[in-house]
Homo-oligomer: A and B are copies of this chain.
């Protein structure tokens, strides 16, 4: 690596800093200079190719106050976008996201994936992606799946066996002629809380439940994936070593006490909506089922906190819907069991992103990469 290469790295790093500042909000060169700590000269230099390439656009001068008016820069309204797609057990979803973090279009289609072939599903996903793609350059597609991902393939997915072993990223990429990145839905739901707007502000764990329970752990501003993509498997944290047998072969996994299927069964309900209504109506069976799940989840989360020591837990997915009736039990278990809890309370918050958190994270995977590796944008 020559010195010249190092200097190019410096330039790319500064480019990233500037783009991150612009994701935060638009601003003139002078404004960006003060926000990034770079000089006005550097900002003129760095933004020039971004304007030439149609990534940024210069707004009309703003006539506010004394001195020469500033011309704010922002992401070009016809600039590149990313699409996120989600394949889940009972639905498909897609969303288009601009570099500025604005959602353009989104779409959710209920369908039972388990009865369909991989090819069939991918055809429909490709159609859905096309249907939400505006006539703007497409950076790539992020694809979310419920299971463990390794090298663009689903290697473990108890609820979607027909997709395991199929090179989903490659196959969808061929259909669309685009770069497709595959990742786990728990990781992507966590990413959606981190990018483009950091909703938690620091390290956090995002927990959600569908059929299984998945945790996306964010450490140092990055989703932590572990050595082989199995990190954050909160569903199989043991809370009773001689407890209920689990499909994974273990016993007493959190999932067997706090999984959505278990909650629904205990509450005598078929769907989340119906459960939510029963809770609001004060149905005792529903309330106790949710409270019991909260206790089990709290024990598992306490263990997680004692190992990861992150300050915040974000309840997402179904847990976000139930959080009003779930949080008390979770918080209570955590308060008694988390060591760090004594000094400064562990923050427990509900996700503000609705059912589109996962697709949003999937699209964010792509826009984030574009901003963090800006060489693709300038070249």
Contacts and interface: CB of A to CB of B under 8 A. Distances in A.
Interface of A: 1, 3, 6-7, 10, 37, 148, 155-156, 202-203, 215, 217, 219, 224-234, 236-242, 248-250, 296, 299, 302-304, 306-311, 336-337, 339-340, 343-344
Given A10-B3, A241-B239, A299-B238, A339 B306 contact: no
A234 B202 contact: no
A58 to B, nearest CB: 27
Contacts of A228: 309, 311, 340, 343-344
Contacts of A215: 307
Contacts of A250: 302, 336-337
Nearest to A148: B339
Most buried by B among A37, A148, A229, A240: A240
19 contacts: A215-B307, A226-B308, A226-B309, A226-B310, A227-B309, A228-B343, A230-B306, A230-B309, A233-B339, A234-B307, A237-B303, A238-B302, A238-B337, A239-B240, A240-B241, A241-B299, A248-B337, A249-B336, A303-B303
A3 B339 CA distance: 45
Contacts of A239: 238-241
Q: Which 10 pairs from chain A and chain B are nearest by CB?
A: A226-B309, A250-B337, A231-B309, A230-B340, A230-B309, A233-B306, A241-B299, A237-B303, A239-B241, A6-B10
Contacts of A242: 240
Contacts of A3: 7, 10
A147 to B, nearest CB: 11
Nearest to A299: B241
Contacts of A296: 241
Contacts of A307: 215, 217, 231-234, 237, 303-304, 307-308
A242 B299 CA distance: 10
B309 A236 contact: no
Which residue of A225, A239, A296, A310 has the most chain B CB atoms within 10 A of its CB atom? A239
Nearest to A239: B241
A180 B232 CA distance: 36
A202 B227 contact: yes
A63 to B, nearest CB: 34
Contacts of A230: 306, 309, 339-340
A248 B340 CA distance: 11
Contact of A236 (B1, B148, B224, B339): B339
Contacts of A37: 1
Contacts of A248: 337, 339
A225 B340 CA distance: 13
A311 B227 contact: yes
A156 to B, nearest CB: 7
Contacts of A337: 236, 238, 248-250
Nearest to A150: B343
Given A249-B336, A249-B337, A237 B10 contact: no
A54 to B, nearest CB: 29
Contacts of A344: 228
